[in-house]
Amino acid sequence: MCIIFSSEYGVAIAIAIASLLLVYLFSSSKARPIYLIDSCCYLPPPNLRATAANYIEHFELCGAHEREGIDFQTKMIKRSGIGCEACLPVSVHQIPPDKSLSCTQEETETVLFTVVKDLLSKQSINPKSIDILVTNCSIFCPTPSITSMIINKFGLRSNIKSVSLSGMGCSAGLVAIGLAKDLLRVQGNSLALVLSMEAVTPSGYDGSIRSMLLANTLFRMGGAAVLLSNKKQDRLRAKYKLRYLLRTHMGSDDQSYHSVIQKEDGAGSVGVALSRSLLHVAANALKINLTELGPSCLPLSEQLLYGWSVFQNAATKREVYVPNFKKAFEHFCIHAGGKAIIDAVEERLRLKKEDGEASRMTLHRFGNTSSSSVWYELSYLEAKGRIRKGDRVWQIAFGSGFKCNSAVWECISEQDHNIRNVWSSSIHLYPIQIPDVIDH
């Protein structure tokens, strides 16, 4: 009897050990949650503001453009949706503009050093506690790298995992978040710092090709720092949890690849050309991105309605139902690439004007800050006190390649609306009615 009891007891112990092992393997195989602790956007000083009048006078004094080119850029600036508060770096205000390496580095350091210092100070983070550093800047790719500049300035650890991304356009901010996410998935108990900006200093085009002049009128000075964590204890102080991140790359299609491209004109002047097909390309990229994102985010009722409409369309050519994305997301941060981009996305997703408010106001106040624009938009929503615990925020970014990237964040804490951010000094002025043609 004693032998039988011992045998049964041993079997029970073995089962218990096996169960514990299975629980451990299951829990360890689950993806670590990624928390967004905080973000910080760069606020340029008011002396760097660039109004339409400043632009016109600057173009005329520099003498780099013919009258036709000046008139075209003036018209585009007034139609851009960008207000008189958006800023350009010191180097661009000079006559003639200084596109040198030293000025580009000065702009980069000014923006990134400021946002990193502000973010770490705000969260009482020791720089040596940062485990992962990811930066993105398309045009400026120096040696040593931008991550090395940050490591040197703030004394980060020698074993930090650091990556500098370049050439990935306005969608690179979410590409950088995706890379940081992947690194955090495989390296436990870690903090990741993600920095996004675009250097405006070397980007100016002084030729006469209209598709390349357009970029002169859109891009402005800005940048953002984002602090991510996979530490369990950081859930208590984190603002958001990353729910989904999806990237769509259309580079295999020639029209998409050439829609936003840096090149030389016939006279040897370098600039970024924006093709007439850009909105069509962006719409196609967004459609493919939504096809993959929708099943993860949309409620079943919306998916069934969409599926049934596709079936009916095949049989009777009826219009395909556009899902109600407000049933999946409470807030939208559409890349502030330009008025036309925001209008097109709103129309495509059947959104109301108020759904694109954060994007329009960001474009008006700060201009197109490239990869950091979605963080200015999130800051706008926070400053307005609109984000509540449980709300979902959808960030949509477009960029050269051509790429459409989506990030979905869930608010996991009650927001303290008294904490100041990049919008705090002017948030009471917004939203404002933006005319089709802005007269500065």
The residues annotated as belonging to the active site are 170, 249, 331, 335, 364, 368
- Report the DSSP pairing between strands 270-274 and 132-136: unpaired
Q: Which amino acid is at 189?
A: N
The H-assigned helical ranges of 298-437 are 300-316, 339-349, 357-366, 373-383
Instruction: Return the residue matching tokens 């829609």.
Output: 259
Stretch (H or E) spanning 68: helix 67-79
The rounded Cα 370 to chain-centroid distance in angstroms is 8
Q: How far apart are CA 397 and CA 196, in angstroms?
A: 13
Hey, what long-range contacts does 145-148 have (CB within 8 A, 24 or more apart)? 146/108, 146/112, 146/195
Is 404 strand, coil or helix?
A: strand
Query: Burial, 295: exposed, middle or buried (Cβ in 10 Å; 0-12, 13-18, 19+)?
Result: exposed
Query: Burial, 285: exposed, middle or buried (Cβ in 10 Å; 0-12, 13-18, 19+)?
Result: buried
Residues 6+ apart with CB under 8 A from 8: none
- Name the phi and psi angles at 178, rounded to 5: -65, -40
Asked if the peptide bond before residue 402 counts as cis, ω within 30 degrees of 0, the response is: yes
End-to-end CA distance of the chain: 97
Q: Within a 13 Å sphere around the CA of 344, how many CA atoms are in the beta-carbon half?
A: 20
Locate 119 and state its tokens: 């973010």
Q: How far apart are CA 288 and CA 290, in angstroms?
A: 5
The dihedral through the CA atoms of 145, 149, 152, 158 has a sign that is negative
* Structural contact between residues 218 and 278, judged by C-beta atoms closer than 8 angstroms: no
Q: Give 332's DSSP letter.
A: E
The rounded Cα 20 to chain-centroid distance in angstroms is 42
Is 227 strand, coil or helix?
A: strand
* Structural contact between residues 156 and 147, judged by C-beta atoms closer than 8 angstroms: no
